[in-house]
Every structure is written in structure tokens, then in C-alpha cells.
Amino acid sequence: MTPTARVPGPVFEPITGRPLAQIAWTPTHEVDDLVERARVAQTDWARMPGPERAARLHRVANLLEVEAEDLAKLETRNTGKPPVDTVREAHRAAGSFRYYAGWVDRAVGETIDPGAGVLSLVDRRPRGTVLGIVPWNVPLFFAAKKFAPALAFGNACIVKPAPETPLTALRLLELMQQAGLPDGVAQVAVGDGELGAALVEHPGMDLIVFTGSDVTGRRVAAAAGRRGAPTVMELGGKSAQLIFPDADLDAAIEGVLLGAYGATGQMCIAGSRVYVHREVAGAFGQALAARIDSMVVGDPRVDGVHVGPQITRDQQRKSFEMIGRAKAAGARTVAQASLPRDPALAEGFFVPPTLLEAVAPDAEVAQREIFGPVAILDVFDDEPDAVRRANGTPFGLAAGIWTADIGRAHRVARRVRAGTVWINPYRVMSDLVPFGGVGWSGYGRENGEAASATYTKAITTWVASSDVIPAR
């Protein structure tokens, strides 16, 4: 491991493009210390009586609730996301701690009597030290989503936020300390992929829960696999929304706008491939285009603004480049909002919401995640055609189906390849409901009961229960 100096990394305000803060990065040569502190702290944390552990997690939730508005303001400054999103995410972060506080005594094992003079006892024990690596699009909530279940099940947890958006994770760490979490049991390590790789490769990391792009995810899974460490991969997507002719078209338009352009398209579950039945394609396309053309792009804290900037300058450039390459390959612009004219926003990381058509199924813009406010529009002829189009990429994170026909809804839902399928809403989530992808979108599940299996390991003890000990 090459020692690196503790250098401050600049953090930007995407609305203006100006620097917002300088945050000291964690040098890779400190990884050993970090992990050692976590491992020492974990033993006592796991031994702490469940109700006491739960009480501390509830205290974190209380502190997050009290500070939700301020955290949301900070998040909006660092990400340019609208307050409606960042306020909800701050409350959801509190909700995660509260929800998992209720799980501390529910990771119970079982006794199995195989009937041959032996009993087997299966314990659910903490994994040990969990590494959570998170991307830049939902910084506070994703940090909470890693810390809360890891800690509830008796693990220590180190979270590495994206270097572009570390501010709210660092504040969450202070709140966790204020709530009485023992020193070392929860830590935040700030840095880029070099630090992430050093953490992943550390033999003291017992489980890696990664949220990020498919490309980095594969790298992390390979590095963890080389030393036999288990991983959960929450990766990107290229999700389809299918609009059938019997759908409530107004609701479908709202769903497409939310799914493709909400959070400036910076969602793993972005429904950025919109397929409409030929019968309604004309009317739907026109109505959707009118809404996109009239979207107001600007400072999302101002009333009447629909879409804010991208979170990073690199991502802004990537979105423009992908639009440019799509057009060079023959795509036509169906709709595009205007960029803000306010000179104060001239350096902001804005990309106009864009809808493209005439895109070949194998074109880059139809196959690769954009992570910006860009969607493609196409038609389908019947159910098999809709399913074929939805399944036309290697990803499998989410899909939206818009129809009033319940039979069709379930038929299609079972045929599309996606970890999450929404029938008539889009972008609805809960801590109670398992979430994760298939194919290039990853493996393993977070949330709900699935978290108990993710964040614990099953250990079996066999006990002789009769004098006659079976040979096998």
C-alpha cells in the first residue's frame, strides 16, 4: 500500500459551480488503524444488550429528525438536488435508524431436529466489520442505509462516501457519536477509488456492501473475491417504462417525468427508456414533449424550478457527450428544456432535460446508464415486443408498467428482467421492502428481512441428543 499524504479534497456547489468546502481525505496508510479500531469496538458493541443498542440507534434517529431541515439544506448545497428530495432523504435516513433499531433482537436463529439423535442450533451472528461504499447521488440516506442495519445486527461499520459529496455523512458521524455509539464502531473514511480499493482489499473487512456503477462494482467484487470476502452489489440500471394503450396516460406522464428526470436523472432506478404502444404513441409523445420543453432548469431552491444541476462537473460533461454521440449516430431530439439564463448560474453543472427518438436498440444511449436527465422514446406493438424491448439491455434493476389491465400487468411484470417492478407508480421505495438488481445491476438484497441475512452469518452447532451417536 502506497502511503498518501492527508490532502484536502475540494467539494463543490453544483448550482453555482463554486467551491463549497475543503475536506481532508483519509490517507490509505491509515486504513490499518481504522479497521483495527472497528474490530476492537465491534466485540463490545455486539455484546451490548440488544435494548441498549436499539436505544442508541433510536437516539441517532431522533438527532437526525431534529436536524433534518439543516441536513437537507447542506445536502442541497452539495448536490444541487431539490429540497423536496433532500428533506425526504433526511427523514428517510432517520427512518432507517428507527426501523433497524427494531431489528436488534430479531436476528434470531433456529433449532432444527433432523431426527437422528442429534439437534442442530443455527445462530445468526454479526459478520464483524462491514464496509459500506456509497456513490454521490444520495449521500446521507445511503450512508444511513449502510450504517443502520450493520450496527443493528452487531457489526462495526466503516462508510466511504463519494469524495464529491462527503459532507452529510461526516455530520451523520458526529450525530452517531453524540448518540453514544462507542468510539470506532462507526467511522467515515473520505477519499476516492484508491482509498476504496485499499479498504476493500483489507483482510479485516468481513462484508462489503457496495452501491455504485456496474464498472466499479465489478472491480470491487473481483478484489473482494480474491480474498474470499462476501459482497453485496447495488449497481446501476437502464430501466424501461412500458406504457400500454389502456393506461391512465396522465399518470404515466407524471411517472415518466419523475422516473427519468427526477433528481436530474441521477437515480440508479432512472426509467430512462420509455416504450409506448403504437396506438397511443403520438398523443403520449406530444404530451410528454410539451412537459419536457416547458421544464424550468435552475436553482432548485427557487419556486417554480423543476430540475436542478448535475452533482458533478464530470457527470455534466458525460451527459452532454452522450447526447452528442447519440445525435451523431442519428438520434432526433423530441424535446429539450432550456438552460438557465441567470448569469449567477452560468458555471453551474446544468444539463437540459432531453428526450431522444430514432435511437437504435444497440446504441450507446439505449444500452449504457447516462445518470443525467436524458431519456429515449420508442414504440412497441404488443406485449411480447414490449417485454423484448424492456429486456434489451444486460441491466436488470427496475421497470415500470403502466396499464389498467390487471392480468396484463402481472403477466408483463413476471416477464421483465428486473429486481423491482412497479405497476402504475414509479420510484416508490421503503426500508421494509427488499431492493436489489439482477444481471449487471448486481446481486444481494438490502432492506427488510433480507438485511438480516445480509448483515449476519449463520453458524450451525450440532449437539448429540441421544446416547446413540449416528455415524453420518
- Residue 446 known to be catalytic: yes
Extended beta strands in 127-228, E state: 129-133, 156-160, 186-188, 207-211
Cβ neighbours for 375, distance < 8 A, ≥ 6 positions apart: 256, 260, 261, 265, 270, 271, 272, 273, 274, 354, 355, 356
- Residue 164 known to be catalytic: no
* Binding of ligand NAD by 421 (CB under 6 A): no
Per-residue DSSP letter, 404 = S
In the bound complex, which residue of the shown chain has the CB atom lying closest to ligand NAD? Answer: 196
Q: How far is the CB of 143 from ligand NAD (least distance, A)?
A: 11
Nearer Cβ to ligand NAD (170/305) = 170
Cβ neighbours for 249, distance < 8 A, ≥ 6 positions apart: 243, 280, 283, 284, 287
Considering only the stretches 192-200, 375-383, 384-392, 452-460, report the one whose residues sit in contact with ligand NAD under the rule CB under 6 A.
192-200
Nearer Cβ to ligand NAD (380/455) = 455
Name which position in 157, 197, 292, 331 contacts ligand NAD (CB under 6 A).
Answer: 197
CB 269 within 8 A of CB 420: yes
**What backbone torsions phi and psi does residue 214 show, to the nearest 5 degrees?**
-65, -35
Nearer Cβ to ligand NAD (291/445) = 445
Q: How far is the CB of 136 from ligand NAD (least distance, A)?
A: 5
Residues 35-94 within binding reach of ligand NAD (CB under 6 A): none
Compute and round to an integer the Cα radius of gyration of the chain: 24
- Residue 146 known to be catalytic: yes
* Binding of ligand NAD by 235 (CB under 6 A): yes
* Binding of ligand NAD by 259 (CB under 6 A): no
Name which position in 4, 177, 213, 391 contacts ligand NAD (CB under 6 A).
Answer: 213
Considering only the stretches 1-9, 188-196, 426-434, 447-455, report the one whose residues sit in contact with ligand NAD under the rule CB under 6 A.
188-196
Considering only the stretches 206-214, 281-289, 349-357, 387-395, report the one whose residues sit in contact with ligand NAD under the rule CB under 6 A.
206-214
Query: Residues in contact with ligand NAD, total (CB under 6 A)?
Result: 28
Name which position in 59, 81, 124, 160 contacts ligand NAD (CB under 6 A).
Answer: 160
- Residue 157 known to be catalytic: no
- What gap in Å lies between CA 175 and CA 157, rounded to an integer? 15
Per-residue DSSP letter, 213 = -
CB 333 within 8 A of CB 327: yes
Nearer Cβ to ligand NAD (54/150) = 150
Q: What cell was used for 398?
A: 427496475
Name which position in 26, 78, 79, 216 contacts ligand NAD (CB under 6 A).
Answer: 216
* Binding of ligand NAD by 28 (CB under 6 A): no
- What gap in Å lies between CA 60 and CA 53, rounded to an integer? 11
Name which position in 150, 268, 281, 297 contacts ligand NAD (CB under 6 A).
Answer: 268
Q: How far is the CB of 274 from ligand NAD (least distance, A)?
A: 18
Q: How many CA atoms lie within 13 A of 73 on its CB side?
A: 3
- What gap in Å lies between CA 149 and CA 266, rounded to an integer? 25
Considering only the stretches 47-55, 235-243, 374-382, 404-412, report the one whose residues sit in contact with ligand NAD under the rule CB under 6 A.
235-243
**What backbone torsions phi and psi does residue 150 show, to the nearest 5 degrees?**
-60, -45
CA 147, 153, 154, 155 dihedral sign is negative
* Binding of ligand NAD by 369 (CB under 6 A): yes
Q: How far is the CB of 259 from ligand NAD (least distance, A)?
A: 14
**Catalytic member of 67, 234, 238, 369:** 234
Cβ neighbours for 206, distance < 8 A, ≥ 6 positions apart: 127, 128, 129, 130, 155, 229, 230
- What gap in Å lies between CA 202 and CA 204, rounded to an integer? 5
CB 52 within 8 A of CB 154: no
**Catalytic member of 146, 157, 164, 369:** 146
Site residues (vs ligand NAD, CB under 6 A): 133-137, 160, 162-163, 192-193, 196-197, 200, 211-213, 216, 219-220, 234-237, 268, 369, 371, 397, 437
Catalytic residue numbers read 146, 234, 268, 446
